[in-house]
Amino acid sequence: MQLDNRAQTLLKALVERYIADGQPVGSRALSKISGLELSPATIRNIMADLEEMGFVASPHTSAGRVPTPRGYRMFVDTLLTVEPIDESALESKMQTRLQPNSQQKIITNAAQVLSSLSHFAGVVLSPRRESIFQQIEFLRLSEKRILLVIVSPNGDVQNRLLLTDVDYSPAKLVQAANYINQHYGGLSLDDVRLRLQGELRKLRDDMTWLMQAAVEAGSDAMNDNSDEVVISGERNLLSVTDLSSNMDSLRKLFDMFEQKTGLMQLLDISGKATGVQIFIGGESQLVPMDEMSVVTAPYEVNGKIVGTLGVIGPTRMAYERVIPIVNITAKLLSNALSQS
């Protein structure tokens, strides 16, 4: 919805003042801080229009107004001015924490950097494992139990138990493994799945199930990562009144941290876009609270997007400060992981 210049200026002034002090903003204050030469009556009329359009709301306890999630969205999309920062100073401060090291250590440090600089919670979605395999083996454990062994190109080994309806002989298991390794070794399991759809018709029925099961179980094994979401600084949010003002809000907040499912969905979605994304509470089922926002950015390894990181904080956050923190951390994490 389009707003004229006066309405945009007043909404921008209201959001900035509310972010700064957390108090409802009245017409008299807006008259002083907006820079517009408007009468208090004109300002009240414009604010009434903004309220009717859903950009601001009037708390029962005050004559002033506060921004709604829709008002924050308009602010961050069209009105926000990200002030220039000393990127070199910020980068040098962060680089000591993101030196090329083990991947998990770099990921953990990145979450800690985001938390310490923003004073909120930092979160990183770890890179998904490549589902490329070098070779597989089938080991017969008992009559209808087979151990699937998947070896990746870098030597990682994953195991999965297959329960079958057929008693496969060791010779048939070797034959099936040899076929997969010879024809598909070095490919991703997703590519193998697509190719098998057409090629399995040429194989004997007793091998069809075994190979399909190997691909499905192998994909699960290669993508299994219990530390997929790394979170740092959750306790910082306990001191944010907007988020910790009642037990129901706290419960929703820490349920999200504990279960991680919704958080993973949100980070996964934001990884499909480029640049910084801002998720404002109340806009999506992925953000469980109206009072919470998530600022995210994807990061890369050797030019390929592999994960997402971000800051979780109150809707009333200083976006002009948090956005460059998230953006620069994503760039430095990309560099560190590409070098490690």
What is the rounded average pLDDT for all residues in the chain? 84
Contacts of residue 102, Cβ cutoff 8 Å, sequence gap at least 6: 340
What single letter denotes the amino acid at residue 338? S
262 pLDDT more than 70: yes
Tokens found for residue 143:
């009559």
CA angle centred on 77, ends 72 and 79, rounded to 5°? 80
Tokens found for residue 331:
């760039």
State the Cα–Cα distance between residues 294 and 229, nearest whole angstrom: 14
Q: What is the pLDDT of residues 60-97, one digit of tens each?
A: 767 789 999 999 999 999 999 877 777 777 777 777 77
Res 8: pLDDT: 95
219 pLDDT more than 70: no
Q: How confident is the model at residue 55 (pLDDT cuts 50, 70, 90)?
A: very high
Tokens found for residue 237:
């949010």
Burial class, 284, CB count within 10 angstroms (exposed 0-12 / middle 13-18 / buried 19+)? middle
pTM confidence score: 0.74
Tokens found for residue 154:
């870098």
Beta bridge partners of 280: 293
Of 98 and 131, the structure prediction assigns the larger pLDDT to 98
Of 68 and 99, the structure prediction assigns the larger pLDDT to 68
Q: What is the pLDDT of residues 240-250, one digit of tens each?
A: 888 877 778 77
Question: How many CB atoms sit inside 10 A of residue 57's CB?
Answer: 15
Res 130: pLDDT: 60
Contact in structure between 266 and 272 (CB atoms under 8 Å): no
pLDDT over 70 for what percent of the chain? 89
Strands 145-151 and 56-57: unpaired
Rounded mean pLDDT, 120-127: 91
Res 226: pLDDT: 44
CA distances from 212 to 171, 197, 200, 237 (A): 18, 9, 9, 46
Rounded mean pLDDT, 238-264: 81
**Closest Cα partner for 146 from 132, 127, 166?**
166
State the Cα–Cα distance between residues 151 and 222, nearest whole angstrom: 10
Q: What is the pLDDT of residues 133-185, one digit of tens each?
A: 788 899 989 888 889 888 877 677 888 888 888 888 888 889 888 888 888 88
Q: What stretch of H or E contains 319? A: helix 319-339
CA angle centred on 174, ends 172 and 178, rounded to 5°? 120
Which range, 218-232, 244-258, 299-313, is most confident?
A: 299-313
- Which domains occur in the chain, in start order? 5-79 (1.10.10.10), 87-128+227-339 (3.30.450.40), 132-224 (3.30.390.60)
SS3 (DSSP) at 304: strand
Of 242 and 16, the structure prediction assigns the larger pLDDT to 16
Res 111: pLDDT: 94
The two counts, helices (H) then strands (E), for the chain are 13, 10
The number of residues in the chain equals 340
Tokens found for residue 179:
């076929």
105 pLDDT more than 90: no
Res 160: pLDDT: 85
